[in-house]
Every structure is written in C-alpha cells, then in structure tokens.
Chain A
C-alpha cells in the first residue's frame, strides 16, 4: 500500500506528533520562565550592606537637602544659592533612586537593624547622628544666620556632612559588587568631593576656615 503523500492518516499522525512536540516544548519553556520568575534572583537581603546604605544614605541626604534649602532661600551669595540648589535637587533625586532600589529588592524603607549596623567599626554619635551630620542646635543656628555668617556656617556644615557621606559611599563600595549601587556611590563620592573643593573656596573668600 502506498501512503498518500499528504492528508492521509499517516501524514496526520506525523503532523500531530510535531504539534504535540511543539506544544510540549512551549509548555516546558513557560514552566522554565515561571520558575525563573518565582525563584528570587540575587536580591540584597534586609541586613545587607546595600540595604543599609540605601536606608542610611536617604537619612543622610535628607539633612543635606534640609540645609541646602535653607541656604538657597536665605543666602545673598549667588554661588551659595547655586550650590544649595544643586545639592538639594541632586540629593533629593538620589533619595528617590535609593528608595526605588529598596522597592525593587522588595525590602521595606525601615530596616530591622539600627542605623549604620552595616558599617562595622563605625557608630552613631552619642545623640544618634551619622557621620558628619549636624545636630538640631547647629541647624537652629543655620536657620537663624544671615549674610556672610550664613554662607560660612553652611559651607562648614556641608564640608563635614560631605566627608561623612563620602565615607559611607566608600564603605558600600568596599562591600558591594552590584553595578547600580557602585555606580551611584562612585558618583556621590565624585560630586561631593568637588563640592567640598567649592565650599573650601567659599570659606577662603570669606576669610574663614573649615570647623
């Protein structure tokens, strides 16, 4: 018996076999994708250096934004107004970036461990401040200052603040190999170092020194 070339029972058998094979392959692929989506890829954990950096740097940045908005609004010096605007907008945007990381990593904005627990060997000050951060009294002084005093005080406080921020960035660079974290930390380091140089120049111009 000669099999008909197309359309006969044997050909339909062959086509069905291909269809089922194809279907099985698609199902296997879908299952593979599903398992890939369900199994957590390498996300930093709640106690990781990345999570600690993301949370603590938001706090650190929030104070730089606070101080810079005071300076931007109240200084009569165009250079201070510009730096204030720059720091406030840049660091507020970086806060957003770090907030988004935590969302992507499915971690809450508030960790279970104290601030700076991810930086062994470093501690908060006695009244709970991170490196370089100003006290409430210092902030009150900044709010009350005017003219040259304001410019000097803001520059002095920001130099200390940036030194602390640079240290935190360096700490996460020591501990993380995640590309997005390293890239932002490097960028923070570089721009804060530049800003320190600018603040030093403002102090020199005003006949003052870092505190």
Chain B
C-alpha cells in the first residue's frame, strides 16, 4: 500500500503495464495498439501467404478467356507413356497423353503440311506451343502466325485439316480456339505457356522429326 504523499492524497497504486496496455486508461491508446497489432498481423500474414503459395503447379494464363484447361477438367487424359503407332486422342488437336518416342522438331518450325499428332504431343511435353490452323485460313493470317513462330524455339505450327475453328493453340493440357491470327490472345497464350507448360522442363526442341505426314514417325529428321 503506497504511502500518502505530502498533500495527503494517496497516489493511485501503480498498475502493471499489462493492464495499462490491454484495458487501461485511454480508449484512444487501446485503439491505436489494436490497429497497429492488426496491421502487423496483416502484413506478416500476407507475406507468409505470398512467399509460400508458389505456383500451385499451374502456369499463369489459366484465366485467358476461352481457354480449355484439361489439366483441371481431365487430368487422367494427360498420361506420358512412349508408344509406337497411332494413338486415339479424345481431344482434337490433342493436348497431351501417350506419344511417340520422338518429338516433332519444334525449334520454330513452320510446317507446310499436316504432321503426326503422336510426334507433336511429345513436343508439347517438352514445353512447345503448337499452333494449328484450318487450311482455309487466309494466307496473310498464316504469315502473321508464321512470323511469331519462325526462329523461336518451343513454337511450331502446322495446318490441321478438319479443325472446327480457324485457329487452335495447344500446350500440354491447355487449348485455345480462336478465329483470327490478330487476336491478342495468341500472344497471351504463347507468353503464358511457351516453355512454362512443360511437364518435362529442359528437354530440347531440336533434332526431332522434321517430316510431315500424319502417320507417326519413329526416327528423327526427314
């Protein structure tokens, strides 16, 4: 019990600091401490979230308008076995699944005729984006697409007879069908998936099959 001071009034007992902080004298002080505490927790919490979330295994771009995300809707389709001979792909053009042991050359190749699905799917596994177009696409649009592909590894393009839209872009597990080569989503798809969509990163695009023809090729080159 505190001694009375000179004026005779007994000074208030010194309260523990904890009480002053938690429930003490001034509502403004409490509010300040609470606000600072909430802000601190929010910053720390967000930093932990941002640093630990990673990619979740998906490249960016899964929100491009019109994209079909087969990794989400049909992941069981995306098997990766090497097989010889023809493969019946459920999606056309295919976006993944079993494929030929040899990939289609995808180091900026612009093919003048249809190529084998089974070789092309292997190229998707290596991270290439495969641009396909209906053969009746106007020549200037074909050239627009070719200008993007030529000389750029992990891009290749070929005509695809029977395509149900003028243009279809494929990456491993992703497809985007479009009507014109000047659609900005072409560049967006390439930016989001070229190389990034590879389930097998680091694999090359050179020294693959350079021949055209839809029967799968079992040796590289032409």
Among the 9-residue stretches A62-70, A148-156, A161-169, A170-178, the one with 4 or more Cβ atoms under 8 Å from chain B is A62-70
Among the 9-residue stretches B24-32, B75-83, B150-158, the one with 4 or more Cβ atoms under 8 Å from chain A is B150-158
Among the 9-residue stretches A27-35, A180-188, A203-211, the one with 4 or more Cβ atoms under 8 Å from chain B is A27-35
Among the 9-residue stretches B14-22, B94-102, B132-140, B159-167, the one with 4 or more Cβ atoms under 8 Å from chain A is B14-22
A-B contact count (CB 8 A): 91
Given A1-B3, A62-B205, A63-B206, A37 and B16 contact (CB-CB distance below 8 Å): no
Is A13 interfacial (CB-CB < 8 Å)? yes
Cβ of B204 and Cβ of A62 under 8 Å apart?
Answer: yes
Instruction: Give the docked Cα–Cα distance between A127 and B1 (Å).
Output: 94
Minimum CB distance partner of B37 in chain A: A27
Q: Which 3 A-B pairs have the closest CB atoms?
A: A66-B206, A34-B47, A109-B195
Chain A residues packing against B (C-beta within 8 Å) = 1, 9-10, 12-13, 16-17, 20, 27-28, 30-31, 33-35, 37-38, 58-59, 62-63, 65-66, 69-70, 92, 95-96, 99, 108-110, 112, 115, 124, 127-130, 133, 143
Please, could you name 27 A-B residue pairs with CB atoms under 8 Å apart, sorted by A? A1-B1, A9-B16, A12-B16, A16-B18, A20-B17, A20-B18, A20-B21, A30-B40, A31-B40, A37-B47, A65-B204, A65-B206, A69-B206, A92-B204, A95-B202, A99-B195, A99-B202, A108-B192, A108-B196, A109-B194, A109-B196, A110-B195, A115-B152, A127-B150, A127-B151, A128-B150, A143-B221
